[in-house]
Structure 1
Amino acid sequence: MEKLRRIALIAQHNRKHDLLEWIECHYSVLIGYKLISTKPMGDLIGKVINNKLNDTSTKNFDIIKLKSDAITEEQQLGEMITEGKIDLIILLIDPLQRKPQNTDIGDLLKLLLLYDVPTACNLSTATFMISSPIVNHLLPSVEKNNLAFIELD
């Protein structure tokens, strides 16, 4: 039996509505995955998916929600990436935001590149990723040993 792929769904403040609309359109595909998100966004995603499911099912859909405490959610995601616990990520960044929300997003993007995690930063790419026939046959993440030669700032 093939393992369930894990998709992280993250959106900056001005992109949350876009991500929720996209999830509403693609919920039937997304329920075949383990979804991971921040606590506030995870609550919203859960409402959207469960509202759709309640039309056809009595089952509630669970989402893995990152803890909102001392360690930032981006740092928790970074840890999950290095441990191979994220298979795909949809990371909607607000390109019109004057200053980056924080440097954690930049660090997160570095990790996604280093560990070769398929990443969608816009909804068109996200749609291509989840609708691809090879999405469940992705290559395993890059091994930590292969990263030994890389120096990070």
Structure 2
Amino acid sequence: MNVALIAHDNKKDDIVNLAVAYQNILKTVNLYATGTTGSRIAEATGLTIHRFQSGPYGGDQQIGAMVANDEMDLVIFLRDPLTAQPHDPDITALLRICDVHNVPVASNLATAEALIRAMEQGLINFKPRSN
């Protein structure tokens, strides 16, 4: 199972705390993240994370490409709807591609926790992988 983790600057502490709280579940899946987010999570948890470019350099688009190629099962993109910075990745394109390919996506902590817990309990039916 492949899970992507992305966060706007003001939500990086939240996604790190989420990963720390759920590291026993997250260690059972393949993790992908944008550059800075992935570095911070790996440092705090010791989890193995495939890191793409940072968001401003296209990391969110690299994750979007995995979604489009049916290589991503779940996306957690904690966004800051009130104070997003100009260099923060735009969630709109990633939300659209997740919707097109029926990939669950969380944009806030409450939904992220619900999806992680559902994943742990086998309540989410992920698409069979072609590879």
TM over 0.5: yes
8 A contact 1:92–1:122 mirrored in 2: yes
Structure 2 equivalent of residue 12 of structure 1: 8
Runs of 5+ unmatched residues, structure 1: 51-60, 142-153
Match of 1:42 among 23, 34, 38: 38
Structure 1 equivalent of residue 65 of structure 2: 79
Match of 2:27 among 23, 27, 31: 31
Aligned residues: 127
Distance 1:107 1:74 in 2: 9
Residue 123 of structure 1 pairs with residue 102 of structure 2: no
Structure 2 equivalent of residue 137 of structure 1: 125
- The more displaced of 7-16 and 72-81 is 72-81
Runs of 5+ unmatched residues, structure 2: none
Distance 1:113 1:69 in 2: 20
8 A contact 1:6–1:35 mirrored in 2: yes
- The more displaced of 127-136 and 19-28 is 127-136
Between Structure 1 and Structure 2, whose CA radius of gyration is higher? 1
Q: Secondary structure at the match of 2:21?
A: helix
- Identity over aligned pairs, percent: 31
Which residue identity lines up with residue 36 of structure 2 in the other structure?
P
Shift of 1:119: 0.7
Shift of 1:134: 2.4
Q: Secondary structure at the match of 2:77?
A: strand
- The more displaced of 90-99 and 75-84 is 90-99
Question: Normalising by structure 1, what TM-score?
Answer: 0.73
Q: Secondary structure at the match of 1:24?
A: helix
Q: Secondary structure at the match of 2:11?
A: helix
Shift of 1:21: 1.1
Distance 2:56 2:117 in 1: 36
Distance 1:8 1:124 in 2: 16
